[in-house]
Amino acid sequence: MRLHFSRKILGIPYAVFLVFFVIIPMLVILFYAFTDKEMHLSFTNFIQFFSDPTKLSTIVYSLVIAFITTAVCLAIAYPVAYILARSKMKKKFVILLLFVTPMWINFVLRINAIRELLSWVGLLGEANYFNTIFGMVYDFLPFMILPLYTTMLKIDESLYEASSDLGAGGFTTFTRVTLPLSMPGVASGITMVFLPSMTNYVVSDMLGNSKVTIIGKFIYEYFGTNWHMGSMVALILLIVVFLSTWLTGGFREDETVRGANL
Amino acid sequence: MNRKAIVIKCLKAAFIGIVLLLLYAPILLLAVYSFIDTDIIGTSGGFTFDHYTDLFTNAQAMTMIGNTLGLAFASAALSTVLGTLGAIGMYYSKKRVRTTMGAVSRIPIINAEIVTALALAIMFVAFGLPKTYFTLLMGHMVICTPFVVLSVMPKLKQMDNSLYEAALDLGASPAKALFKVILPQIVPGIISGFMLAITLSLDDYIVTVYTRPSGFDTISTYVFNATIRGNAHTAQTLSSFWALTTIIFIIILIVTISANLAGRRKKEVRK
């Protein structure tokens, strides 16, 4: 018998891979989140999570850290992207590349370099929250610059000319043309920075003198002690991510995230 | 140009310059101290290559560098094959299949890495799979393959579909047409997917920690444990990381510059 070759079947290995290593793990998390140690259906993890004041205060701290990190990243990245995107320089791509290059050094080595710098200026162990936010901004800045730069580059130059022909000054042009048209970039930059700054505990551990706890660290700690609670925290994060992605249209086919098509 | 425009131009350049300076300050600091005979940054010493010889004579450090590179190439190669075939399969499937697979494939990209890692780790333990090199490889493939699919997909969409039909009409078997017609057209997407997969794997810490077999260290886990847990035997190990950072930085600079030059040459030829 000769099998009829169809290009569709080439996708089967990847489909199987996705089922085993993406879908089933998510289902396992869902199962553990809503069961207790005897594997009975239970909502105690959920209730316990939201009724423990120390946990809630950590979550608030973590959200504040993530919020400040995202705001600082935006405040630095927006002008950088704007200046580069509107510059008439021929080699501006090289400067953009300079902003991305440090990202290719191993992430832990990069954080270690900041650790050495902070210890040199005497801040390590002294200003734990500042150090954590400094490290996160340092690390996630390119994730903010790239989407902003790409959306701003797409803004039609004739819109700026039209705006100034019609008598708008530089400030009005910025608020009426640049700002609204760059919003998709702002949205994707925020989602790409906010989530890691809530969950990437490597930065807070290495720079916060292990005194700064963020939500990601919870999951790590529960992995050693209580899988059910750990799964609940993971599930909550998963739902938050899904909702924000769905709301910003990130599940659409053509969207490229995290500069995948750099 | 009036004076105001010149001032604004200078301010813009100064802003970009200051941000870049901050971005490179930690790396340049380590690069300078990697040649100075001291274990504490800020203290003075003579010129030395000791940090480099310390790094290259530390057997543990050499193993973890080898592990990192081996894992990155293995997972990137496998991810590239799986992701390229997956993208081709998805592209020619029914719309419903394509969008479903696309959405599932997007999960590891948008998800917090810790959630992906925890889910995999709990699944492996719950199903009684001991953590081996296989689980580690699968973990890295989960984070790499979706990016390969994302890089290949746009190239498939840009492709001229009539060429494949023409190849079949001219008597090529579907498999031959795939290799001779479709693949050559999507090669740029495959290459950028492979490069992306390599960098993702080299950079990973969290998934590695949750899926690796015990005793297996990559650069990420080794450096993290040495600095945080104080697993480093001596201050020598910590200062040899300055040398490692510098070497990696120089390699990246060379690769970036040569890729840039190659790109420019290509453009000139096309002109």
The pLDDT tens digits of the residues spanning A47-65 come to: 887 888 888 888 888 999 9
Percent of chain A whose pLDDT exceeds 70: 92
Q: What confidence tier does B44 reach under pLDDT thresholds 50, 70, 90?
A: confident
Quick check: A70 and A190 in contact, CB under 8 A?
yes
CA distance A32 to A250: 28
CA distance A9 to B91: 11
The strand pairing partners of B43, in sequence order, are B41
Q: Say whether B154 and A202 touch across the interface (CB within 8 A).
A: no
pTM for this model (two decimals): 0.88
CA distance A116 to A110: 10
Higher pLDDT, A224 or B154: B154
Residues 123-162 of A with CB under 8 A from B: 138, 141
- Chain B within 8 Å of A30 (Cβ-Cβ)? no
pLDDT tens digits, one per residue of A158-197: 888 888 888 877 788 888 888 888 888 898 888 889 988 9
pLDDT tens digits, one per residue of A109-153: 999 999 989 988 888 888 899 999 999 999 999 989 999 999 998
Whole-number pLDDT of residue B190: 94
Q: How many CB atoms lie within 10 A of CB B67?
A: 20
CA distance A7 to B5: 58
Name the least confident of A148-162, A248-262, B174-188. A248-262
Q: Say whether A25 and B116 touch across the interface (CB within 8 A).
A: yes
Q: Strand, helix or coil at B271? A: coil
> Which secondary-structure segment (H or E) carries B227?
helix B219-228
CA distance B185 to B155: 7
**Cα nearest neighbour of B202 on chain A:** A106
Domains and CATH numbers, chain B: 60-270 (1.10.3720.10)
**Cα nearest neighbour of B139 on chain A:** A21
pLDDT tens digits, one per residue of B84-141: 999 999 998 888 999 999 999 999 988 889 999 999 999 999 899 899 999 999 999 9
Residues 33-62 of B with CB under 8 A from A: 33, 41-42
Percent of chain A whose pLDDT exceeds 90: 29
Whole-number pLDDT of residue B268: 62
- Chain B within 8 Å of A13 (Cβ-Cβ)? yes
- Among B28, B88, B118, pick the best mutation site for testing chain A contact (most A Cβ within 10 A): B118
Amino acid making up residue A151? T
Whole-number pLDDT of residue A93: 82
Q: How many Cβ pairs within 8 Å bridge chains A and B?
A: 251
User: What's B129's DSSP letter?
Assistant: P
- Chain B within 8 Å of A84 (Cβ-Cβ)? yes
Q: Say whether B93 and A79 touch across the interface (CB within 8 A).
A: no
